[in-house]
Structure 1
């Protein structure tokens, strides 16, 4: 059996894309209507609710949203690919590097709450502090980062095609349709609903793959059996650059290079992507750090447990001549679909297809809201209509969502036609955006950041990164081609050059010629959602209090919440408490970085090839981490909203019985 061949008919692909797309859109529309009916939050009546979910979300839902936002189709596909290519070290480097960056972003989230509680985008703060030229410069890279995430459309479409034989170009255009529909109606809060459902299914497939591989599969069935087959695979298909050619070793030269790329480029996709800032905007100030720390911790088993199970399973099942599956060969990029087919047959292919489809729709909906926020607040309101009404802001947001949804489909087709792979796009995104990481961090965190030094670092770092990337590609590949520019060393040089040169320029200029910016200015100017400092008590109550509208008199509060021009944003914690959260997040991030990216690899690299007991420990650790993470992002969000959910159920029952 060839596990890489389509196992479903093209009609199944069209059925899932169209049926699930519109079905999921319908579900999100119903949830949005329920939210508008039974809570104070109505996306159709307030731009503040539409673009920032009234800054009211709790840490469990924020953590679930972060896991979903970080789990692109590329995450599941690329992590499985590096598992096959580099062995057990590949998924760990992917997971540890990405989780650390998410946790580090908690510091940005809390600083945004402290210094600009009414901001909608990180670019607004840059524009207020440094003016037009820096604002436009950083906007170029911010929009570019979001644009490059059209790779999620390409990756999702490729996977649908590989599993069903559906036309890839058709998938590129059909997938965004349902996303645009429910995002258009429900706004940011609807994306969090879809994020939660997506996260639930992510952990379902992780557990399904893991228990099938290590417990129930006829050919595999235990960690011991998988380990034995991996040793045979190392003899028949040794991994170049790995200790003894083994799949069960951390002594992997290419795995380490990939890990460094993940750690550097991942910062770019987190710091320069408005999607992550959007979650910081939507969270409560008092719990924003908690949401990001829990989200980063819970994301780790997605690449780690999933890719280890899927990647090692497909390697083990193609290890020798009597294996029931043909070797992957050149189709290593299809490791995840191949593993799904090999482990669970058609049901596995359908399950993976659903999860990857939701990964695409969830991430796409978040990007739609992120880009529409930039288009609305950083372009339309800043440069064309500073006194825009709430109705005009909502109109521009809607237009931006539709326009970017169409653009994502077109760009997905372009990437597919020119043969750009997910791994190439993943590496190039870091090269493109890494130069903005430290300048953006300095803008939000340091009152001494030098304006022109940070702008110079942004552009000079980008140019140097591209030069290093292309030069290394030519040096190693002999010519600048898609293949050579996608090589590990070329992407490493580009990412590192862009990141470190920009950081050096921005850091040195800020140290030698410090500026003295008073963050009280940004706190005052961005203390309200419309840039004013006028305070309306009833509206503030509607924004801060997530209490449900189940009584007759509550309609007045809802009316106040719909007027974004008078919304005053007041943090639900003092500045001293938020600063204490900032210090806590710094300490936790450093501790977890040392534990995940230094201590664990140093321990795992001691044996050249792991023993069977060591491999079994690695598998058990992945399962334990998965269960803990599932408790955080699947059960905890329901628990923290239990009272609100109960009130909604009571209100629905009163509606049904005519007593409300």
Structure 2
């Protein structure tokens, strides 16, 4: 290990390759076994497109919360929460966490609205095409792909650079192997596979986060919460910790921090784009039961706050203390800007406190955080390829089996492309800090037009098509124009200017609102009929007509709806394989009525049904139930915005340095919040899914893995 401020290798290349390849094989075998159990004993077949893309819309609260939490627990929430805690002090991790929570709670609102207006949708793009037609659909397809490509590549970028920095694994090898290991279980298992692996990732990652937080805090060189406070204050007084520009009195323990507020605002804007423009979050909403969408998403929103707040505060500040001690890997030199930008403060601190074993555990955390996000992105992109491109334009009459085959191809192709794209970013000099500043300008222009698609009936197709294009051009022009005017040159260094990136991001996300309203109200204004969304139909099996079996001109015959642990299903016999049962959700939730085979065959094509005759698949009781959940979702969203943006931070934004008692309470609550997250997204999902787990266990114990069904 080098002891200079230059390159520091903490583990051998063999260890790095072993962890990447070994964990990839383990998760592949794990998910194959889980898929086998689902298919044999839980009637969940990932070879059906409804199961592959939206998990038959029957995922419960616990698994929904765990999967959403995992998808949003990006590597940046751990590694770069420590970086901003190291750079800006106590304010940044808390502001970081607040920015994550509101986006998830917003998607809870969007999820309920979509279940009300488009209950059989598979992707957000399907909704766009139904409302605006092919041109707007094409624009938003490109925007969704851009969002997934940049979001996914940022995680691989951070992971591969960290893996290279820690073990010396070649950057190209790390960039290719990390996403490649996700391909097998994602291609085979589909969305439900990502739900299951997301749970395992979440459990391991949260346990490690809590362990690292407590281990660093209780280390003899830190001395607990009080010891950390005393050492930071003493180092600031002695001048061994240089004043932080923009912080009150230059202190890391002052909440008033210009750098933290600019960074957190950029993160909030960027994350809003990453969530809204990522079909993966919409798919998880479509996949969950109606009664699970709001509590699942809001539970994840409350839990995600724990990740950057606790670990960013404790390890970020502890790194400032340990960096001056001989146990730190770069001693006697401080870390370079490149090492900080690559996310290495957390790794070096863990090595100083725990040793090589701690770094190996960190690589497990890295793998968990990275692969869960990449897997979710792969499913989102494959659904765009298969459903929004192939089935929509290339082969409208594609069978279920053909759609699945294209989905598998999409997963494999995307893994190759994203590796190549990430390598281009790496060799171009990008790191996660630069990406966090740049991202909002490229991923946010479609946010407002997409939200208006399901909330405002007067937005026109022209407005939806042009406003995101104009918005992106506006934001990038503001950004580059300011950089050129101020510095005279545009390069990776000058374009990393915080405030200019913020101006560009604000232009990108808010200018489309102006463009959309002006275009919609002045150029051929129209009013959209929300009933058009009810034409979106479920994808049936190969020999089943692709019609919406619930949107009929007659009231369906009332028959008992079979349930599986409270989840209503319709058992439709596959004509091609009479021995198999096709599982299709009974209009998503209880209260829906089964349709007998004779009536289903008599149902006309949905597109041919007059809007006056189209009926909602949910009955009045279920609709009232949904509207109650919508009020709850709106209430939680508004409350989180007010608490995390106003009530909590505003009183602290003053000329004040945390006292020891206040600091102790601050850190204590952040750690308690970590345990709350552990209960919410690790322990509770096991209890929530106990019946399915027990049924699968009984099936394996009685019949094994190879029973023919």
| Fold shared by both chains (TM-score > 0.5) | yes
Q: Superposition pairs for residues 175-574 of structure 1, below 5 Å?
A: 175-215=178-218, 217-234=219-236, 235-236=239-240, 237-319=242-324, 325-326=331-332, 327-330=334-337, 331-333=339-341, 334-510=344-520, 515-523=526-534, 525-529=535-539, 532-535=547-550, 559-561=581-583, 574=622
- Cα displacement (A) at 1:386: 0.9
CA contact 1:93–1:262 (8 Å) conserved in 2: no
**What is the aligned partner in structure 2 of residue 652 from structure 1?**
700
- Cα displacement (A) at 1:313: 1.4
Q: Aligned pair in 2 of structure 1 residues 74, 571: CA closer, same or farther (>3 Å)?
A: farther
CA contact 2:448–2:512 (8 Å) conserved in 1: yes
Hey, what's the Cα distance between the residues in 1 that align with 2:70 and 2:179? 17
Q: Aligned pair in 2 of structure 1 residues 557, 610: CA closer, same or farther (>3 Å)?
A: farther
Hey, what's the Cα distance between the residues in 1 that align with 2:324 and 2:247? 17
| 2:657 counterpart of 1:609 | yes
Hey, what's the Cα distance between the residues in 2 that align with 1:384 and 1:156? 36
Hey, what's the Cα distance between the residues in 2 that align with 1:423 and 1:377? 34
Hey, what's the Cα distance between the residues in 1 that align with 2:409 and 2:706? 39
Q: Secondary structure of the residue that 1:347 maps to in structure 2?
A: helix
**What is the aligned partner in structure 2 of residue 174 from structure 1?**
177
- Cα displacement (A) at 1:319: 4.8
CA contact 1:83–1:90 (8 Å) conserved in 2: yes
CA contact 1:269–1:429 (8 Å) conserved in 2: no
**What is the aligned partner in structure 1 of residue 24 from structure 2?**
21
Q: Superposition pairs for residues 97-176 of structure 1, below 5 Å?
A: 97-148=99-150, 149-176=152-179
Structure 1, residues 392-414: CA drift from partner, whole Å, max 9, x if none? 11111111111001111111211
Q: Aligned pair in 2 of structure 1 residues 2, 448: CA closer, same or farther (>3 Å)?
A: same
Q: Unpaired segments of 5 or more residues in structure 1?
A: 550-554
CA contact 2:56–2:585 (8 Å) conserved in 1: no
**What is the aligned partner in structure 2 of residue 552 from structure 1?**
none
Structure 1, residues 355-400: CA drift from partner, whole Å, max 9, x if none? 1112111111111110010111111111111111111111111111
CA contact 1:284–1:571 (8 Å) conserved in 2: no
TM-score computed with the length of structure 1 as normaliser = 0.93
Q: Aligned pair in 2 of structure 1 residues 81, 512: CA closer, same or farther (>3 Å)?
A: same
CA contact 1:232–1:320 (8 Å) conserved in 2: no
Q: Aligned pair in 2 of structure 1 residues 579, 226: CA closer, same or farther (>3 Å)?
A: same
- Cα displacement (A) at 1:55: 0.7
Hey, what's the Cα distance between the residues in 2 that align with 1:240 and 1:351? 34
Q: Aligned pair in 2 of structure 1 residues 590, 492: CA closer, same or farther (>3 Å)?
A: same
Hey, what's the Cα distance between the residues in 2 that align with 1:295 and 1:598? 21
Hey, what's the Cα distance between the residues in 2 that align with 1:458 and 1:656? 53
Hey, what's the Cα distance between the residues in 1 that align with 2:300 and 2:487? 39
**What is the aligned partner in structure 1 of residue 590 from structure 2?**
none
User: 432-441 or 75-84: which moved more?
Assistant: 75-84
Q: Aligned pair in 2 of structure 1 residues 66, 207: CA closer, same or farther (>3 Å)?
A: same
Q: Secondary structure of the residue that 1:610 maps to in structure 2?
A: coil
Structure 1, residues 546-587: CA drift from partner, whole Å, max 9, x if none? 5999xxxxx979522289998999569722322222222112
CA contact 1:213–1:221 (8 Å) conserved in 2: no
CA contact 2:50–2:538 (8 Å) conserved in 1: no
| 2:86 counterpart of 1:78 | no
Q: Aligned pair in 2 of structure 1 residues 394, 229: CA closer, same or farther (>3 Å)?
A: same
- Cα displacement (A) at 1:336: 1.8
Hey, what's the Cα distance between the residues in 2 that align with 1:636 and 1:558? 33
Hey, what's the Cα distance between the residues in 2 that align with 1:8 and 1:320? 21
Q: Secondary structure of the residue that 1:561 maps to in structure 2?
A: strand
CA contact 2:58–2:585 (8 Å) conserved in 1: no
**What is the aligned partner in structure 1 of residue 670 from structure 2?**
622
Hey, what's the Cα distance between the residues in 2 that align with 1:254 and 1:659? 60
Hey, what's the Cα distance between the residues in 2 that align with 1:17 and 1:400? 23
Alignment counterpart, residue 690 of structure 2, candidates 642, 650, 655: 642
Q: Secondary structure of the residue that 2:444 maps to in structure 1?
A: helix
- Cα displacement (A) at 1:73: 1.9
User: 353-362 or 529-538: which moved more?
Assistant: 529-538
Q: Superposition pairs for residues 8-87 of structure 1, below 5 Å?
A: 8-44=11-47, 46-87=48-89
Q: Unpaired segments of 5 or more residues in structure 2?
A: 541-545, 551-555, 571-576, 587-596, 604-615
Q: CA RMSD of the aligned region, Å? A: 3.1
Structure 1, residues 433-492: CA drift from partner, whole Å, max 9, x if none? 211111100101222223322323211111000111112222444421112212211221
- The size of the alignment, in residue pairs, is 655
Q: Aligned pair in 2 of structure 1 residues 656, 266: CA closer, same or farther (>3 Å)?
A: closer
Hey, what's the Cα distance between the residues in 2 that align with 1:321 and 1:158? 25
- Cα displacement (A) at 1:532: 2.1
CA contact 1:105–1:292 (8 Å) conserved in 2: yes
Q: Aligned pair in 2 of structure 1 residues 544, 377: CA closer, same or farther (>3 Å)?
A: farther
Hey, what's the Cα distance between the residues in 1 that align with 2:70 and 2:56? 20
CA contact 1:372–1:401 (8 Å) conserved in 2: yes
Q: Secondary structure of the residue that 1:328 maps to in structure 2?
A: coil
Hey, what's the Cα distance between the residues in 2 that align with 1:351 and 1:446? 48
Q: Aligned pair in 2 of structure 1 residues 540, 503: CA closer, same or farther (>3 Å)?
A: farther
Q: Aligned pair in 2 of structure 1 residues 574, 544: CA closer, same or farther (>3 Å)?
A: farther
- Cα displacement (A) at 1:511: 6.0
Q: Aligned pair in 2 of structure 1 residues 109, 356: CA closer, same or farther (>3 Å)?
A: same
User: 644-653 or 108-117: which moved more?
Assistant: 644-653
